Amino acid sequence: MLETILLVVSVLLIAIVLLQGNKATDSAGIITGGNQELFQNMKERGAELFISRLTFILGVLFFVISFILFLM
């Protein structure tokens, strides 16, 4: 039963990570100096905030279920 839940959480986690915006290209400006908004405080809003929180929750669920399966 837990293996099935872990599989579902894993697939959802992969999908939600792929839906997130690519922040790596924004960080690439550090080396070239092209990112003027690097140190501004930018807050996530709306869908970005929801996806970010859902990613955190799914990550914690994945860790907890994996740990429980390890102990069994």
Cα–Cα nearest to 26, from 14, 42, 15, 13 = 42
Which pLDDT score, from 0 to 100, does residue 56 have? 95
Which pLDDT score, from 0 to 100, does residue 46 have? 81
Which pLDDT score, from 0 to 100, does residue 28 have? 55
Which pLDDT score, from 0 to 100, does residue 35 have? 54
Query: Over the chain (72 residues), what is each successive 10-residue block's mean pLDDT?
Result: 95 92 58 57 76 94 96 92
With contact defined as beta carbons under 8 Å apart, do 1 and 65 qualify?
no
With contact defined as beta carbons under 8 Å apart, do 10 and 62 qualify?
yes
